[in-house]
Structure 1
């Protein structure tokens, strides 16, 4: 392999990632991946037995990126603003938002291994919120409060964005502040 060139496998993954973001999971076919990646169908099948296998390989990479972005939220950021920012990050990139779209719209169609990886998206978000609040408030919120915060933010930011509307961040900030009063 030439230096500096991505492997065929990574080229296929990068193409699939872009296509999932543009067309969704169902709208992306192996044939479209072959065409856009500029590789042969046998090359794709030598690396990935199915489209779900591609997604399964992409998910840990993307979940790691999302987690790393969350960790970059400045510790000086106010408590509510930090939580909102962690959700805002998810909707600012089409490929990350596509993972949410797949997780909520198509997760039930996935093999157990893919289903479990998609579930990690919400688990990691809730864990981060718990850690963030523990740092800001000095105590770990209970699971019911974490669920309420995540559900409120998901509806206000992610579902609103998926519905082609703009999130009302000031309203979300007020609602979150009322939930977080200890």
Structure 2
């Protein structure tokens, strides 16, 4: 039996969930390297070691494949920020953890942040909706904490949360674009200190 046939047989035996994960991983590499428009389904199939018909069995087209990846990474970012809020009752540590969540996200080996923050497909309504969902959910998680612990009304708490999300995202991307010129922990410390001086100093924890 030829090596090609053996590989095909092994591919055919993969469970559907494992196959989907394999295809998403291959697509992640291609989309991160080429962007949406320059990415080709042929290249994704080749990278995954499957035929194009197998790829199309799981994803009807390139947009559906891209959206599956984007939604997965948006969910990951939301989880990181939500965990940062829920992991402690120390508000100073919460701020640091929230900033760290963005730095960790952009520092991931998969370059998932490119799909969420630098997508070349923002003109597609479904893509923009997914990105907005991520921003809104992260903002909401922080807003809820600030509202409860700083004694602010919803609108003022939300504006502070938007500021924290914005500074965290922009700073993390700048740090990465600058080739990680300083250690990540130091960068997180600088930005979280800046944020905490405003939130912690101006809006102290309210006693119950």
TM-score range, shorter chain: 0.7 to 0.9
Cα deviation for residue 171 of structure 1 reads 2.9
Q: Distance in 2 between matches of 1:179 and 1:19?
A: 41
Match of 2:118 among 93, 101, 104: 104
Distance 2:62 2:45 in 1: 12
Structure 2: runs of 5 or more not aligned:
1-11, 204-208
* Structure 1 stretches of at least 4 aligned residues deviating more than 6 Å after TM superposition: none
Taking the TM superposition and a 5 Å limit, the aligned residue runs for 1:39-118 are: 39-73=50-84, 74-77=87-90, 78-95=93-110, 96-100=112-116, 103-109=117-123, 111-118=124-131
- Say which is worse superposed, 48-57 or 89-98, in terms of deviation: 89-98
CA contact (8 A) 1:20 1:28 kept: yes
Q: 1:119 aligns with which of 132, 139, 147?
A: 132
Q: Does structure 1 retain, via aligned residues, the 8 Å contact 2:143–2:160?
A: no
Give the TM-score normalised by structure 2: 0.69
Compared CA separation, residues 136 and 142, structure 1 to 2 (3 A): closer
CA-based RMSD of the aligned residues comes to: 2.9
TM-aligned CA deviation for residue 115 of structure 1: 2.1
Moved more, 18-27 or 152-161: 18-27
State which structure, 1 or 2, has the greater radius of gyration over its C-alpha atoms: 2
Aligned equivalent of 2:142, options 115, 120, 129 = 129
2:118 & 2:171 partners in 1: Cα distance? 15
Q: Could you say what secondary structure the match of 2:36 adopts?
A: coil
> What are structure 1's unaligned runs of at least 5 residues?
none
Aligned match of 1:25: 36
TM-score if structure 1 supplies the norm length?
0.77
- Checking the alignment, whether the CA contact within 8 Å between 1:149 and 1:179 is kept in structure 2 is no
Please say if residues 26 and 48 of structure 2, whose CA atoms lie closer than 8 Å, have aligned partners that are also in contact: yes
How many residues are matched? 179
Aligned equivalents of 1:84, 1:9: Cα separation in 2: 32
> 1:158: which partner in 2?
173
Query: Are residues 117 and 146 of structure 1, via their aligned partners in 2, closer, same or farther at CA, if it must alter by over 3 Å?
Result: same
Relative distance call for 1:19 and 1:132 in structure 2 (3 A) is: farther
Match of 1:36 in 2: 47
